[in-house]
Amino acid sequence: MKPTRQIHARTIIAATFLMTTLAAVLPGLASAQIKGQKGKTFAQKLVETTKANHPESDEIGISANTDHGCVGIASTDKTDIGGKCEKEDAEPMHTGKPVVEKEKDGFDVSLPLHDSTGKIIGTVGVGFKSVSGQTKASVTEQALKIAAEMEPRIPSKAKLFERSE
């Protein structure tokens, strides 16, 4: 084999080895980065704790404006996390007023979510299974009490996104 061909062949072998090694190592590095973000977000812990203290609710979620628009950032229904906000989820952030929807199996209430200083930082959605005697007013009152328990624990919007161990 001529010296030029030997160099070319060695270069190809070395490049192939390098590509194979990187292909094997990179997925592990990406996985390590994801695992490096240990724990749940503050918002996720908050909705889970709140839901555990309020068995009358069947779902609690938080939505907020992010770089990707309004999205669900925490929920007791994991399928809602990362999803784009529906109109009724985003509206309370802009109007400051609750939105109540009667569903076939209960009520969904979306409220503005405030930080501990009173600034609107997102929305909190609370779902209620249908119970005899329930009205829009009664579920709104229940949802307001639930939000009032959550809000003093939120010093800022940024805190919602912080991860914990």
Domain map (residue ranges) of the chain: 1-36, 42-161
With 80 as the cut, is the pLDDT of residue 28 above it?
no
Q: In angstroms, rounded to a whole number, what is the distance separating the alpha carbons of residues 135 and 116?
A: 29
User: What pLDDT, on the 0 to 100 scale, is given for residue 164?
Assistant: 78
pTM, entire model: 0.76
Q: Do the beta carbons of residue 88 and residue 107 sit within 8 Å? A: no
Domain 42-161 is of which CATH architecture? Answer: 2-Layer Sandwich (3.30)
With 90 as the cut, is the pLDDT of residue 55 above it?
yes
Q: Do the beta carbons of residue 46 and residue 154 sit within 8 Å? A: yes
Q: At 22, is the pLDDT very low, low, confident or very high (cuts 50, 70, 90)?
A: very low
With 50 as the cut, is the pLDDT of residue 19 above it?
no
Q: Do the beta carbons of residue 133 and residue 142 sit within 8 Å? A: no
For the segment 81-102, the average pLDDT, to the nearest whole number, is: 94
Q: Do the beta carbons of residue 143 and residue 111 sit within 8 Å? A: yes
User: What pLDDT, on the 0 to 100 scale, is given for residue 32?
Assistant: 35
Structure tokens at 18: 């390098």
For the segment 88-116, the average pLDDT, to the nearest whole number, is: 95
Q: Do the beta carbons of residue 81 and residue 72 sit within 8 Å? A: yes
Report the Cα–Cα distance between both ends of the chain, in Å, rounded.
60
Question: Who wins on pLDDT, 32 or 56?
Answer: 56
User: What pLDDT, on the 0 to 100 scale, is given for residue 38?
Assistant: 64
Rounded to the nearest 10°, the torsion over CA 52, 53, 59, 60 is: -110
